[in-house]
Structure 1
Amino acid sequence: MANSDRVKVRIPAKAKKGEIIEIKAQLSHDMESGQRKDGDGKPIPRRIVNKFTCTWNDEPVISADWYQGVSANPITSFFAAAPASGKIKLTWWDEAGAVYEYVHDIVVE
């Protein structure tokens, strides 16, 4: 599993039960499309993040398949209703097998 220091998030620490909160996240990733060449003219191998998921206490919130059209350092923003206190887990997978995770504790009152 890759280090989560490549992830920036904005998720509230607290919410009221049923409140709609915004979850924003950015992954530091080059999203290399495979179309560019290095200084010697050799193609740079494709390496993109191709899946993103978010769970709240292990219940799915959102899942997305990504393709090479997604920019480098992708930003994700979506809304979720706060069901209960617990853990929000964001996970990204790239084609090289790297997994990036971020877990956030939230208190729902």
Structure 2
Amino acid sequence: MSTIRVRAQESGGVVTVRSLMSHPMETGARKDSAGNLIPAHYIETVEAEVGGNTVMTALWGAGISRNPFFQFQFAGSKGDTLKLSWKDNKGESDSTEVEIG
């Protein structure tokens, strides 16, 4: 099961994408209950593709909140398939695909 929930809707030739990503987004500055630093673990890159073409790339850092909500728009059409993916600072990644409605 993907850590990304995404919805993409077209209106007037503009696709609005809304996504929610489950991720701890740890900065590396917080301490656990024993006083030890919690290692940094955050998404670095979010990328959206339609038809093999990149329509959006976001470069993130440790300042983004836990389980981030992300919204963006691009020129597109109904029926196309949107692929949304992320990669974090530990080399982990996830992606999901959704049909634009």
Question: So what's the TM-score if we normalise by structure 2?
Answer: 0.89
Aligned twin of 1:48: 42
Instruction: Give CA deviations for 1:32-54 in whole Å, capped at 9, x if unaligned.
Output: 00011111111100001000000
The gaps in structure 2 that reach 5 residues or longer are none
1:76-95 mapped onto 2 (5 Å cutoff): 76-83=70-77, 85-95=79-89
Aligned twin of 2:63: 69
Give the partner amino acid of 2:43.
V
Rounded Cα–Cα distance in structure 2 between residues aligned with 1:60 and 1:68: 24
Give me the CA root mean square deviation: 1.8
Question: So what's the TM-score if we normalise by structure 1?
Answer: 0.83
Rounded Cα–Cα distance in structure 2 between residues aligned with 1:67 and 1:26: 17
Rounded Cα–Cα distance in structure 2 between residues aligned with 1:33 and 1:55: 28
Give 3-state SS (helix, strand or coil) of 1:11's partner.
strand
The gaps in structure 1 that reach 5 residues or longer are none
Identity %: 30
Shift of 1:81: 1.2
Rounded Cα–Cα distance in structure 1 between residues aligned with 2:17 and 2:53: 16
1:9 and 2:44 correspond = no
Count of residues in correspondence between the two structures: 101
1:105 and 2:99 correspond = yes
Instruction: Give CA deviations for 1:12-57 in whole Å, capped at 9, x if unaligned.
Output: 3xx47x7112101010111000011111111100001000000111
Shift of 1:99: 0.7
Give 3-state SS (helix, strand or coil) of 1:33's partner.
coil
